[in-house]
Amino acid sequence: MTAPAGSPPRRVAVIGGGVSGLTAAYTLRKALGDDAVIVVYEAGDRPGGLLCTRRVGDTGLDLGAEAFIVRRPEALALVRELGLADQVVSPGPLRPAIWSDDRLHPLPSPAVMGIPRDAAALGGLLDPKDRVTIDGEADRPLDWTPGRPVSVGRLVRERFGDAVVARSVDPMLGGVYSARADDLGLAETVPALAAALDAGASSLTAAVGRLLSAPAGSGPVFGALRGGYRQLVDALVAASRAVIKVDSPVRALTEIGDGFGVEAGQDGEYDALIVAVPPWQATTVLATVAPESAALLGAVRPAGSAVVGAVLAPGTAVPEHSGILVASDAGMHSKAVTLSSQKWPHLAPDGPPVLRVSFGRLGEPVDVDDQTLMRRAVDDLAAYFGAVGLAAPAVQAATVQRWPQGLPHYGPGHLPAMARALEALPPRIGLAGAAFAGVGVPACIGSARAAVARIVPGDL
């Protein structure tokens, strides 16, 4: 029996067991109390989604999301609520490098997501003609219409030139969104820059300068958990006290009186729903109960990727960086390398070096076999290491993790479309996940809290 309309739901189904779904289940438990029935339906064989800590040799390594932004409150607040504050670790002092023109370059600075304030910020990544284009940009008229959907790549290419996009912006954005700058909306991925232009900045140079002159927070930007994201997943499962049904993809939802029916391996009836699966899955699930929202979600494309986690032979020397971001015109297979044991000093402090090699962007599937992907990783690592005079690394152990439909595509106009999808939902259905307010873990946590607030009356 469903709860009467207007009363708090007593039976809630959460569709999807990633960080958004698990956070929703935990938030529901706090809001509804011990007597509520909360069931999480997860299509995979484990909860966690893109939070995936796996063994690589003797080391536990996150092969999906690896860190969260500390200066956003959501993730750090949740970690503290769950009693994991003492497990938060910060990265070491080393910075990433950019791979371009067969060598490693310092990360462009000062810059906003790779978009520089001036040509000097990009060091040796540019030729003299590029430098003249950048440093003269402030003197050229800017044709800008506030609120107009535009891609990051188009804007930067028009104002600063192709090289800045390929060698600075693509490397920065590609690791976050698994897409090139030409495919990413400015308002979606660099909203503060879009806001500065909407507010009347006279040039891209002026807009970047305005952001860089704003006060910045102190302390580390990123944090991680000592035992990997598996700690957060396990803590959420325990604290939510939800029934977790793995290997249970939801086929459809139906309306039953004032509630909903869930068609899965074991069907159930619920007062309310939180749908926390990727939009290309949510469109099928919601087709009957929320057709307008489903149609908008169905237009979102997935961006896939793959990660090779590797442990190198003991004593292997590695470049003095936290990682390597690869220019999109460099002709390499990989898009980035995280030198994990240098970026995160707590990882294997006395053991051999540990790293991650990342592949894949929107429209560039990573559907080759594992051996081919590992071989490409080894070949690219040999080039990166050789450029600084180091021997090609010998891989002692390796694991491949694929995310064929990992992230939603944040193209121009994506966020307004997602806002319409949320507005079109019927009562007692909430949507959560990486499609709505950003792809990072803090944004997913925030979207889960917002989804619960939509279906539970009163303050959370």
- Enter the CATH code of domain 90-94+302-408: 3.90.660.20
Domain 11-53+76-88+224-301+410-455 matches domain 107-213 at the CATH topology level: no
Q: What is the pLDDT of residues 216-246, one digit of tens each?
A: 766 788 999 999 999 999 999 999 999 999 9
Q: How many CB atoms lie within 10 A of CB 284?
A: 17
Q: What is the pLDDT of residues 392-426, one digit of tens each?
A: 999 999 999 999 999 999 999 999 999 999 999 99
Closest CA to 270 of 27, 25, 459: 25
**CB-CB contact of 174 with 225 (8 Å):** no
SS3 159: helix
Res. 353: pLDDT tops 90: yes
What is the identity of the amino acid at 122?
A: L
For residues 313 and 78, what is the distance between their CA atoms, to the nearest angstrom?
37
Q: What is the pLDDT of residues 440-459, one digit of tens each?
A: 999 999 999 999 999 997 65
Res. 372: pLDDT tops 90: yes
For residues 400 and 307, what is the distance between their CA atoms, to the nearest angstrom?
6
When mean pLDDT is compared across 99-113, 174-188, 263-277, 425-439, the lowest value belongs to: 263-277
What is the identity of the amino acid at 91?
A: P
Closest CA to 160 of 118, 109, 190: 118
DSSP bridge partners of 312: 395
Res. 460: pLDDT tops 70: no
**CB-CB contact of 168 with 125 (8 Å):** yes
What is the identity of the amino acid at 297?
A: L
Q: Would you call 402 exposed, middle or buried from its count of C-beta atoms within 10 A (0-12, 13-18, 19+)?
A: middle
Q: In the predicted model, what is the mean pLDDT of residues 334-338?
A: 98
Sign of CA dihedral 159, 164, 168, 170: positive
Res. 374: pLDDT tops 90: yes
* Stretch (H or E) spanning 194: helix 191-198
Q: What is the predicted pLDDT for the residue at 4?
A: 60
SS3 446: helix
For residues 292 and 455, what is the distance between their CA atoms, to the nearest angstrom?
19
- 443 phi/psi in degrees, rounded to 5: -65, -40
Q: What is the predicted pLDDT for the residue at 216?
A: 73
**pTM value?**
0.95
DSSP 142: -
Average model confidence (pLDDT) across the chain: 95
User: Tokens 């939802």, residue?
Assistant: 253
SS3 248: coil
In the chain, where the domains are located: 11-53+76-88+224-301+410-455, 90-94+302-408, 107-213
Q: What is the pLDDT of residues 95-153, one digit of tens each?
A: 999 999 999 999 999 999 999 999 999 999 999 999 999 999 999 999 999 999 999 99
Res. 295: pLDDT tops 60: yes
Q: What is the predicted pLDDT for the residue at 182?
A: 98
For residues 175 and 28, what is the distance between their CA atoms, to the nearest angstrom?
32
For residues 382 and 379, what is the distance between their CA atoms, to the nearest angstrom?
5
Tokens of 331: 């002709």
What does the angle CA 230 – CA 236 – CA 237 come to, to the nearest 5 degrees? 90
When mean pLDDT is compared across 7-16, 161-170, 277-286, the lowest value belongs to: 7-16
Q: What is the pLDDT of residues 19-64, one digit of tens each?
A: 999 999 999 999 999 999 999 999 999 999 999 999 999 999 999 9
- 96 phi/psi in degrees, rounded to 5: -75, 160
Please give the distance of CA 23 from its chain centroid, rounded to a whole number. Answer: 16
Q: Using N-to-C axis directions, what is the helix angle for 19-32 and 230-240, rounded to 10°?
A: 30
Share of the chain above pLDDT 90, in %: 90
Q: What is the predicted pLDDT for the residue at 348?
A: 79
**CB-CB contact of 305 with 401 (8 Å):** no
What is the identity of the amino acid at 24?
A: A
Q: How many CB atoms lie within 10 A of CB 457?
A: 10
For residues 22 and 277, what is the distance between their CA atoms, to the nearest angstrom?
11
Q: Would you call 4 exposed, middle or buried from its count of C-beta atoms within 10 A (0-12, 13-18, 19+)?
A: exposed
Domain spanning 107-213: CATH superfamily: protoporphyrinogen ix oxidase, domain 3 (1.10.3110.10)
Q: What is the predicted pLDDT for the residue at 214?
A: 86
Q: What is the pLDDT of residues 242-269, one digit of tens each?
A: 999 999 999 999 999 889 999 987 778 9
Beta-strand relationship, 272-275 and 429-431: parallel
| 3: confidence class by pLDDT, cuts 50, 70, 90 | low
Q: Would you call 243 exposed, middle or buried from its count of C-beta atoms within 10 A (0-12, 13-18, 19+)?
A: middle
Domain spanning 11-53+76-88+224-301+410-455: CATH superfamily: FAD/NAD(P)-binding domain (3.50.50.60)
- Give me Rg for the CA atoms of the chain: 23
For residues 277 and 41, what is the distance between their CA atoms, to the nearest angstrom?
10
| 6: confidence class by pLDDT, cuts 50, 70, 90 | low
